[in-house]
Structure 1
Amino acid sequence: MQQNVENGRPSDRVSGVGATKAPASTGRQSGSSPDTAWKVLIVDDDIDVHEATEFSLSTIRILGRPLQLLHATNAKDALGYLKTIQNIAVIMLDVVMEEPDTGLRLVGKLRQLGYTEPRIILRTGYPGQAPEDQVISNYDINDYRTKDEMTRTRLITSLTTAIRSYDYIRSLSATRAGLEMVIEGTQRLYSNKNIDLFAEGVLTQIAAILRLRSEGAVCAVGTPTGDDSSSMIVMAGLGRFSGKVGSELGDVPDVDLSMVQDVAPDNATPELRDNKIALRFRTETGRELILYFEHNGALPSSDVVLLQVFASNLAICFENLDLINHLGELAFVDQRLGLPNHNAFSRELGGLVSGKTDKATVALVALEDAPQLAVAFGLAFAENVMSVVYDRMRDALGETILIARLGEYMLGVVDSTGTLEQSALEGVFHETFLMMGNRISVSASIGIVSGDPTNQKASDIDRAARSTLLRVIQDRPGTTMLFTPEIGDEVQNTIRMKSALQEAVLSKQFRFVFQPKINTKTGEVVGAEILCRWMMDGENISPSVFIPIAERAGFSSDIALQSLEAVSDFWRDLQNAGLLRLPVAINLAVPDICNPDFVDVLTRQCEDSDLLAELVSFEITETQAISVDDDATRGVKALKDRGYNLWLDDFGTGYSSLSHLNSLPVDGIKIDKSFISGLTFEKARGSVAATAKAMADNLGLRSIAEGVETREQHQIARLLGIECVQGFYYARPMAPDAFIEWLKNWDLDAHAGS
């Protein structure tokens, strides 16, 4: 039985892989570390060869490092060593062992398995069986010696040559691996757009590339004052500095600040002192990145090159990241006014629904006067108004509440604390604003959403706020409204209805009905009002619902023009029934009258359809204010000049005023039904209806009362001297054929007595 050599000494135990243990780690496991012995594997079935080799090399150091000999007596054990122990530098291999070519076959197998770095020195006692020229040519070995010529000097020479070759190969491999890690690490850093993770990734990559264990490392980012970097904030830490994230660099103990300050920030050359590495980069925006790294191993020149390559790439990465962050910051700022913008508002909304708060308030504020100010004084003036309003809101609401510019003249407010009071928002506009030495008043429409944002969608909160603002602008501009679920439903229905109305206009789905007007003294039918009716999805929609929507959407002009066609058909039906044409009143919205093109089209269509001016009147529905010199006034005058009768509809409500009666060329007023429905004989003389009638008389205007539903209301209207009336008491609005049948049988006295 052959003896095994364990740890350099003969043993009676059978040879095995575990016979010699791998050396304990002394920090860095690298072929270039001076604290690690060169591992040399002796593979020979002759025990004397093991002992002689160990004796010859016991005191030898090669390239400044000792040798550690590993012993195997057969190919199987040798292969076991290679699989178990890393960094075997040289294999001194006997050719003839179990078989005459065991050593040669082992060489081929080792290289085939990927063990390409260990240098192999073949030794043989039978040179004739394996000629040197053939072996060198056919096998990947580094030297081939006979045992007889392997003197101590020759042995040392061969080992030195082989170890030098191995060390060079290991350095190349380490450099290649390091460069691959630099490339991979750079790609990772490029893909990371978060500065915190970027900083942590930098420290991790340095440790990996240099194969060094970090005793402590910090990465700080900031904009220093001059060359003083002590105030920069630690974004990441390793080792003993891992708990210092968020601290100022100057407050971290044991960091060599003088070394950091000595690093030039405008290049990518690392500063190396003892076991410390410092890197410093500065971008064009003035932000700096500082790396301070302490390790426990030596840094060879080859790894310094790797560090320089990584530092160059890192500088580009940081410049790129700083640019991305700078662009990101710009993406959340309104570029004209420097205020937070819609992106900032959306981001803050997203934070609300994260579950960090159970009470929040979101408000949208539309400046009602800003568009007029922009027209009167220019865009710069109106934007200055936005700025001063923002400043006052910031002072009133505090720094913790986000205020962002969402539109030309709209601001958004997000309060994640839920402490925002409605009165605080409204109070911003109670006092005038000082603008360029002048005091101006600004009013605002405000829509507010409050409640628990948990488990809601940010988009739903935004939609609720916008729905509320839209509702307040439509119904009560210049006031504040709180969101209710009904508002959201109404807005959705409005959107659906707007789309359906557009289709109705194009396909002429509207029906037109006529309601008679009665002379209070004679009881005769003196005219009719044409009214629009519409069904959506098989359901009748009230005119009070769809007409305002049509006006806001710009469809009311189309409805008015289509009503002219219905009037023409109605007159033809009257003539076919042997009846005279009745005067017909058509409703017009103020926004339509403001358009001179519409007025031209309207009058031209009347002329083309033979709708005589003396038989056509227009009732102006005041859904917005009319000033003395605006387009609406000019439109009213244009219609009057063409001979049409004009009436102020719904007088006493909306925007009607005495100035309209005095300035507009109207022929009469139509007293709103809200002033008729509550009339009694006892209160009639002091009623609003009586006052409206008196004003009309004083101005030489005629009057009509609408909404008459009882015999008493009819008698009161007659008592007050109101010339004409209409309402359900006489007839509901009817289709043309029904109207004609009603008209043939109409008799006020008979109706009153029934």
Structure 2
Amino acid sequence: MTDNGLVSFIDEADAPVADELSFEAQTPWRILVVDDDEDVHEATHFALSGLRIAGRALELLHARSAASCVEVLQRERDVAVVLLDVVMETPDAGLRLVEVIRKQLGLHQLRIILRTGQPGQSPELETINAYDINDYKTKNELTRTKLYASLTTALRSYDQLHRLELSRQGLEKIVDAGNQFIADQGMQAFAEGVITQIAGLLGIAPEGVVCASAEFGSGPADGENPDHFVIIAAAGPYREWMNRPLDQIADESIVASLRRSLQQRQTLVDRQSVTLFFAGKSEQDFAAHIAASVPLLEVDRRLLEVFCTNISLCANNVSLVNRLRDLAYNDNLLQLPNRFAFLKLLGERLEQGQLAHCVLAKLDIDQFAQANEMLGHRYGDLLLQALVARLNEHFAADCQIGRLGGNTFGLLGPERSLRPEALARICESPFQVGPLSRRLSASVGLVRCEDVMPCSAEDLIEYAFVALKQAKSQGQGRIAWFTRALGNDAKERSTLLQGLHKAFDLNRLFLVYQPKVDIQSEQVVGLEALVRWRDENGHMVPPDRFIPVAEQSGLIVALGLWVLRTALQTLAQLAQAGHGQIQMGVNVSVVQLEHPGFLAELKAILQASQLAPEQLELEVTESVAILGLDRVSALLESIRELGVGIAIDDFGTGFSSLSYIDRLPAHRLKIDRAFIENLDSEHRGARIARIIIPLGHQLGMKVVAEGVETREQIKVLQELGCDEVQGYFYARPMPYDELLTWLAKARAN
């Protein structure tokens, strides 16, 4: 299996054998592969290498963009099939190319098979309808066997159309009729068009009836049971039979002809009637009975055979349109409207003013990814189905339910139904999936539609998402209502994030450095690098505002690497200025540590700096506990093996488990400033600081006090045996130029 799931390989002997077609065996079929992914070209070539269809070899042509595809088709006019990627230079490049092929180049016989690696992105239905697309597949559907089968079908279609073009002068009318049928909506309209077109070809009145197999009626197709055949279109005296079972028709001769044609899957010609059989995919066959006042001529019979072949191809495209429409708006796994359909429903309700007293709920299963990882995706699918069954049981009577994402659902209905207590009851009892019983919790965001009018459907979904994030911030299984204040906060965070991205790209972020001092000798032993942001107006944005936003958005990963590089560059500059024995402390967030490439990036930055690893110390908070003790201990141990120091920052404000701290391979323990402020009093925080210092020493770590501002605090910390201090008493955080001046004065003193 290739990385993109294009093909899986089977033994050559297992490849299917295609029916013989009419073209000369010595001429190869020419297949054009259009895709911007080189792996797809290689995988397709390997999958089809050495294969023959109808005794003819396959010749692959290649184009890697829409423009190069047009160039190839202008130069090579006998291309039979195009394997076309939907998404290339732009999300709709493939679909735009279809219009060029059909309209500008006029290649109507060429067969087009759309391929995509993104199953949720279906092409526009108008494009499928209008331009005779032969098939549509996701790339992971196209195993070698299925790719071979799809090509065989497409080549048969191309061969037939090619022969029709050469053999009959009247083919243009048939092809035009076929394109017209494809544009119709649904099988019934298509079938009515068949009746009209057959009558036009034969020069008779449109007196006929069209019958479909079970795919268009109900129940499985069964040749022995006419109940499974349903009339889907009729004309003339038979119009009243529309949508009725075949056995309810009074004319036994018509019933017998239609039944025999469908059972035997062949066209029947009598002296004054003809029953045409149209073969479809997946047994979606149908037949048309036409009464004629005079016997059909031989030329008419042959014309009808040609017509049946072409209309069968068109019928398959109608089925394809229906399938694509279903894929575009329905979730196949859970049989629910998908996000697109749910948004469409919201938009329609908004336009019609039908959302009075309605609530939109966005429900998300907590920690669903962990269940998938532990028990497998099949179990996860069954769990989702069990949840949907319960949602339908409680809310389907008067609420619309849709799947908005992997484990996220939307519910729209009256407020009396979508009450918080009713939603909370969904997960009260465990879910039974096979032999396993599992409890779930779900977070829910709610928005009263009237409270946020006027708005769009997208706005409503976004408001519910904001409320859902608020619920999740409070813990698992929580429910939160959207409020204007909550929306303003979310908007402010979004604006802040946009500004932060811009500031990062335009180098408006900079570092300041705060010295760490040995409490006994008052010598500078280290610096802490702190990131600062000055906005376009020259105002400083507080770190406690933009750092959480950077962490939530993932920007902290790139930002943190920049801080590391810049801080180590500063160390190198300080060494050249005569300050070479200083250690640099850099804060590292949980998000950075969780990134799979962090350790490799750290090694690369250290190597590029040419500094001793011991000159760098990473400061982490106790919140790294959320990564899991074994995982974080192993990661920090790997960092320590590089020679880099580890400090536990803001100690006492997070997961202060002694057994947890004891297992972390840290060199320093930094007491949070909250415990230093009232150190010379009997304040509770002060008592904690008196406990932490000997604790740190017992754990083999140096202890650093943050936020030291007074001489009295220094004296108490000296008495308690604190090792190092950091705070305004000695220096505020300062930019590099000021730091050089300060260090020179500190050395002189």
Q: With structure 2 as the length reference, what TM-score do the two structures score? A: 0.57
Q: Alignment partner of 2:293: what SS?
A: coil
Relative to structure 1, the CA distance from residue 591 to residue 683 in structure 2 (aligned partners, 3 Å threshold; closer, same or farther) is: same
Shift of 1:664: 1.3
Matches within 5 A, 1:324-723: 325=319, 329=323, 339=333, 344-354=338-348, 355=351, 358=355, 359=358, 361=360, 363=362, 365=364, 368=367, 370=369, 374=373, 381-398=375-392, 404=403, 406=405, 410-417=406-413, 437=435, 451=449, 485-486=487-488, 489=491, 492-493=494-495, 496=498, 499-500=501-502, 503=505, 510-517=509-516, 527-535=526-534, 537=536, 540-544=540-544, 545-546=546-547, 548=551, 549=553, 552-570=556-574, 573=577, 575=579, 583-590=583-590, 595-601=598-604, 603-604=606-607, 608-609=610-611, 613=614, 617-621=617-621, 624=624, 625-630=626-631, 632-641=632-641, 645-653=645-653, 657-673=657-673, 681=681, 683-684=683-684, 692=692, 695-696=695-696, 699-707=699-707
| Separation (CA, whole Å) in 2 of partners of 1:341 and 1:719 | 71
Relative to structure 1, the CA distance from residue 362 to residue 286 in structure 2 (aligned partners, 3 Å threshold; closer, same or farther) is: farther
| Separation (CA, whole Å) in 1 of partners of 2:197 and 2:237 | 18
Q: Deviations over 1:72-112 (max 9, x none)?
A: xxxxxxxxxxxxxxxxxxxxxxxxxxxxxxxxxxxxxxxxx
Relative to structure 1, the CA distance from residue 599 to residue 367 in structure 2 (aligned partners, 3 Å threshold; closer, same or farther) is: same
Q: Alignment partner of 2:567: what SS?
A: helix
| Separation (CA, whole Å) in 2 of partners of 1:732 and 1:596 | 31
Q: Larger Cα Rg: Structure 1 or Structure 2?
A: 1
Q: With structure 1 as the length reference, what TM-score do the two structures score? A: 0.57
Q: Which runs of 5+ in 2 are unaligned?
A: 1-167
Q: Deviations over 1:641-674 (max 9, x none)?
A: 5665431112244556433311112233223345
**Residue pair 1:592, 1:598 contacting (<8 A) in 2 also:** no
Is 1:197–2:178 an aligned residue pair? Answer: no
**Residue pair 1:222, 1:289 contacting (<8 A) in 2 also:** no
User: Aligned letter for 1:205?
Assistant: Q
Q: Alignment partner of 2:267: what SS?
A: coil
Q: Which structure dedicates a bigger proportion of its chain to helix?
A: 2
**Residue pair 2:211, 2:288 contacting (<8 A) in 1 also:** yes
> In structure 2, what is the equivalent of residue 43 of structure 1?
none
Q: Alignment partner of 2:587: what SS?
A: strand
Relative to structure 1, the CA distance from residue 226 to residue 439 in structure 2 (aligned partners, 3 Å threshold; closer, same or farther) is: closer
User: Aligned letter for 1:733?
Assistant: P
Relative to structure 1, the CA distance from residue 431 to residue 349 in structure 2 (aligned partners, 3 Å threshold; closer, same or farther) is: same
Q: Alignment partner of 2:193: what SS?
A: helix
Matches within 5 A, 1:240-389: 247-249=243-245, 258-259=255-256, 262-265=259-262, 266-267=264-265, 269=267, 281=278, 283-291=280-288, 299-302=293-296, 306=300, 309-310=303-304, 313-314=307-308, 316-318=310-312, 320-322=314-316, 325=319, 329=323, 339=333, 344-354=338-348, 355=351, 358=355, 359=358, 361=360, 363=362, 365=364, 368=367, 370=369, 374=373, 381-389=375-383
Q: Alignment partner of 1:390: what SS?
A: helix
| Separation (CA, whole Å) in 2 of partners of 1:385 and 1:324 | 35
**Residue pair 2:268, 2:275 contacting (<8 A) in 1 also:** yes
Shift of 1:622: 5.3
Relative to structure 1, the CA distance from residue 184 to residue 531 in structure 2 (aligned partners, 3 Å threshold; closer, same or farther) is: closer
Shift of 1:368: 3.4
> In structure 2, what is the equivalent of residue 62 of structure 1?
none
User: Aligned letter for 1:489?
Assistant: K
Shift of 1:731: 4.5
Shift of 1:389: 2.1
| Separation (CA, whole Å) in 2 of partners of 1:682 and 1:589 | 33
Shift of 1:383: 0.9
| Separation (CA, whole Å) in 2 of partners of 1:740 and 1:183 | 83
> In structure 2, what is the equivalent of residue 47 of structure 1?
none
> In structure 2, what is the equivalent of residue 222 of structure 1?
217
User: Aligned letter for 1:565?
Assistant: Q
Relative to structure 1, the CA distance from residue 610 to residue 339 in structure 2 (aligned partners, 3 Å threshold; closer, same or farther) is: closer
**Residue pair 1:394, 1:403 contacting (<8 A) in 2 also:** no
Shift of 1:736: 3.6
**Residue pair 1:520, 1:724 contacting (<8 A) in 2 also:** yes
**Residue pair 1:589, 1:622 contacting (<8 A) in 2 also:** no
Q: Deviations over 1:9-55 (max 9, x none)?
A: xxxxxxxxxxxxxxxxxxxxxxxxxxxxxxxxxxxxxxxxxxxxxxx
User: Aligned letter for 1:201?
Assistant: G
**Residue pair 2:338, 2:404 contacting (<8 A) in 1 also:** no
**Residue pair 2:670, 2:704 contacting (<8 A) in 1 also:** yes
Shift of 1:299: 1.8
Relative to structure 1, the CA distance from residue 236 to residue 604 in structure 2 (aligned partners, 3 Å threshold; closer, same or farther) is: same
- Work out the number of aligned pairs and report it: 546
**Residue pair 1:706, 1:726 contacting (<8 A) in 2 also:** yes
Percent pairwise identity: 22
Shift of 1:387: 1.0
User: Aligned letter for 1:514?
Assistant: Y
**Residue pair 1:362, 1:412 contacting (<8 A) in 2 also:** no
| Separation (CA, whole Å) in 1 of partners of 2:583 and 2:690 | 26
Is 1:185–2:189 an aligned residue pair? Answer: no
**Residue pair 2:187, 2:318 contacting (<8 A) in 1 also:** no
Q: Alignment partner of 2:665: what SS?
A: coil
Q: Deviations over 1:449-496 (max 9, x none)?
A: 774799976666677777887898899788677666447636754764
Q: Alignment partner of 1:534: what SS?
A: strand
**Residue pair 2:249, 2:255 contacting (<8 A) in 1 also:** no
User: Aligned letter for 2:217?
Assistant: G
| Separation (CA, whole Å) in 2 of partners of 1:736 and 1:280 | 85
**Residue pair 2:279, 2:286 contacting (<8 A) in 1 also:** yes
Q: Deviations over 1:565-591 (max 9, x none)?
A: 21333455575xxxx965543323456
| Separation (CA, whole Å) in 2 of partners of 1:604 and 1:239 | 86
Shift of 1:678: 8.8
**Residue pair 1:332, 1:344 contacting (<8 A) in 2 also:** no
Q: Deviations over 1:186-225 (max 9, x none)?
A: 3422444632421332344345556666689666533654
| Separation (CA, whole Å) in 2 of partners of 1:302 and 1:638 | 87
Shift of 1:329: 2.9
Q: Deviations over 1:280-302 (max 9, x none)?
A: 64534123435467x8xx62224
| Separation (CA, whole Å) in 2 of partners of 1:745 and 1:566 | 19
Shift of 1:563: 0.5
**Residue pair 1:472, 1:480 contacting (<8 A) in 2 also:** yes
Relative to structure 1, the CA distance from residue 536 to residue 360 in structure 2 (aligned partners, 3 Å threshold; closer, same or farther) is: same
Mean Cα deviation higher: 416-425 or 394-403: 416-425
